[in-house]
Amino acid sequence: MTVPRRLIEDVARSSSGIPSDEILFRGPPAISHRVLLWTSTVCFLAWVVSVFDFVLFGTLLPVIAKSFKWSTGQSTAVATWVTAGTFVVSLIVGPMIDRLGRKPSLIITTAGAALSSGLSGFVTGTLTLIGARSISGLGYSEEIVNSVYLNETYGKSRRRGFMYSFVQSGWPVGALLAALFTSLFLATLGWRGLFLTATIPAILIALLAFTLRESPAYFALKRARELRKEGHESKAKELASLYDLDISRDNRSGFRQLFAPDLRRHTIFLSLAYMLSWMAIQIFAVLGTTVLVAGKNVSFTDSLVVLVLANVAAFLGYIFHGFIGDHFGRRRTIAVAWMIGGAVLTIMLFGPNNTGFVIALYALGLFFMNGPFSAMLFYMGESFPARVRGLGSNTVHVMGPIGALLGAGVLTLILAVGAPMSVAAFISGSLALVAAGLCMLGTRKVVDEVTEPEVGAVGAH
């Protein structure tokens, strides 16, 4: 990608150094459209390469298993341990965002995707593969950095959710690129060569991230903390007020704040919603081919075509729900969309085994299942106070791997008792997605999702 020199210089100039108190106390700065466009582009590319690394492992797992002569059971066990390792590594991202900064966290998580790919090319067996792929927890969490960073960078723009939806759409783009890359170059490069090649774009994007500016809200939050430590309580509160920041509980540990009375219900219901939605993702996206072949008698060849079309539908879903969220509220948009998605996928499971019918309903189901994540990730960032915005968003986000494990486990148990795939997928996937939508109704209602970048210490649900 060719970047105009003038554009790089403009962005680099705007990000140099830390603002002085004189600049900070003028309030949030106006950020040019050119800087916003460049920031969004880098965040989009960072998410694409992170997804590319994340999905590439799943795509190549059958080839890796054959190389190491693993049985199907061993291959599944490795995938399970990798998911667990991904969960553990991703836990560090939340505190890193809040204490180290948004921009450094973006660089580190993108570099983590590069490191995970690079090390995967040199693995020698089960343990080294689990270790290398566990690092992909950093890349998996890159979208949380995006949601926090861009939430604060976009400020009060009335189209901020719509703008973010294009960044979040990097998921289907990265997934499709991983599938295309594998089909074109696996025969010539081998699975190790594919992993090693994947490190190159990730390193380049991590370097591009150095040209970005830090979030103004984070600079203000960091300075307010310093002023408070220096004994200038009134100046700290004045600065926090200018940026709509709540530092009233900043001296408490982050996790204690997340489960304090003002945030407890929101944290619990949002975490449950994310976990349940990922149960559905595991069933209908990750295991989508298996469900279509075993549950709807779709041929394997046709199922691959369906998955490609479904990813296109998911991309359109990201844009659609980002736009709708700006106008009708993200919380409401997510809840309604997931309930519709659960209903559509249920009809697909129990409807006729007609290929055209299945393709149409499956694509529509993924439109309403995957699409709301553009609104969901942005809502996560705006629904937590800046003091715990990174930790709160990441605490919810790490429920994804847990939901994926739970979804696969429930599906396996139901199939083990002799139920057909359609029933197993309905219980572990469709019902979970509807339940996720219902859980969203228990989360915090941001008073004005369009114009308020920060919610108060005590907000209505």
pLDDT in tens, 413-427: 999 899 999 999 999
Among 161-170, 201-210, 247-256, which range has the highest average pLDDT? 201-210
Q: What is the pLDDT of residue 367?
A: 94
Average of per-residue pLDDT across 427-432: 97
Q: What is the pLDDT of residue 226?
A: 83
Asked whether residue 79 carries a pLDDT value surpassing 90, the answer given is: no
Q: What domains sit in the chain, N to C, each tagged with a CATH number?
A: 31-214 (1.20.1250.20), 253-440 (1.20.1250.20)
Apex CA 214: angle with CA 209 and CA 219, to 5°? 160
Q: What is the pLDDT of residue 233?
A: 84
CA torsion sign, 40 to 45 to 50 to 56? positive
308-327: per-residue pLDDT in tens? 777 788 889 999 999 999 99
Q: What is the pLDDT of residue 230?
A: 84
Higher-confidence residue of 246 and 68: namely 68
Q: What is the pLDDT of residue 249?
A: 62
Determine the Cα–Cα distance for residues 380 and 396; give it in Å rounded to an integer.
8
Q: What is the pLDDT of residue 8?
A: 40
